[in-house]
Amino acid sequence: MFRNVAELVELADKNDKLISELMIQQEMEVTGKSRDEIMEQMEKNLKVMENAVERGLNGVHSHSGLTGGDAVLLQNYIQKGNFLSGETILDAVSKAVATNEVNAAMGTICATPTAGSAGVVPGTLFAVKNKLSPTREQMIRFLFTAGAFGFVVANNASISGAAGGCQAEVGSASGMAAAAIVEMAGGTPKQCADAMAITLKNMLGLVCDPVAGLVEVPCVKRNAMGAANAMVAADMALAGISSRIPCDEVIDAMYKIGQVMPTALRETAQGGLAATPTGRELETKIFGVPFEERE
């Protein structure tokens, strides 16, 4: 039905339909399932996200001890009322962290588009829920809108940290979330595309350098900043600010950057933060041997 963002926006405008609706129709066409079946499956995904956010906000810690409890700290900070950023942004950040802390603690999450970037979409969704008061169907549609843009990225670039660095994971997730926020807030399909482009442009070149090879440091905090990036980009697009570089060209640029990114910076834990003295020290503490001696 659509191969890129330009076609997606054109279809939405031509048929006067939401991007989420086009994604639902495409799922029906590809899978052969009914609308009710498609909606029911996404409702299950939404529930998994909801449970992950709630569990994370109650406090979880990973087995390695590298991550945990930060979502609670941030919620406590918000409650004090002395925060400097906007409350909705901080709430999104906290809930993104909560989801990824659950992932690090071996809990159940919904990959959006990957486990390492699973916090951004639910984090922003459950934060804007408090602002926009959407229906349950609108929340489900939020996920379909995010999925439509994720579908384009996956088929024209990459959503894998090993293939394209963290720009392909948290970067993609952040762009997906930004587009979905815009639709939920009543923005146009073009504004959704602009939000995606603005977000991704500001995350180009982001490396994947997990300390000890675990999806914890810096992954959890990158989801936090990805959520904040998505929120701000959505506001910019809704304000009428457009991306000078078309969304599809931004996605293509991300793909090409990933192709030339050194292997050491693509999920191998050989460079970046993973290769810092503290990163190596933490790895040795967790696994008992330094990186060079691990098989």
**3-class DSSP assignment, residue 280:** helix
Distance CA 186, CA 215 (A): 35
Residue 234: the pLDDT is: 98
Sign of CA dihedral 128, 133, 135, 136: positive
Please report how many Cα atoms fall inside a 13 Å half-sphere around the Cα of residue 189, on the Cβ side.
21
Q: Which residue has the tokens 């929120």?
A: 231
Q: Could you tell me where the DSSP H helices lie in 105-135?
A: 120-132
pTM above 0.85, yes or no: yes
pLDDT in tens, 135-164: 999 999 999 999 999 999 999 999 999 999
pLDDT score for 1: 85
Any idea where the domains of the chain sit in the sequence?
Answer: 5-48+134-284
- Counting as low any pLDDT under 70, the low residues of the chain are 290-295
Q: Where are the alpha helices (DSSP H) in the chain?
A: 5-15, 19-31, 35-57, 70-80, 87-104, 120-132, 136-156, 161-164, 166, 172-184, 189-201, 219-238, 247-260, 277-287
CB 98 within 8 A of CB 53: yes
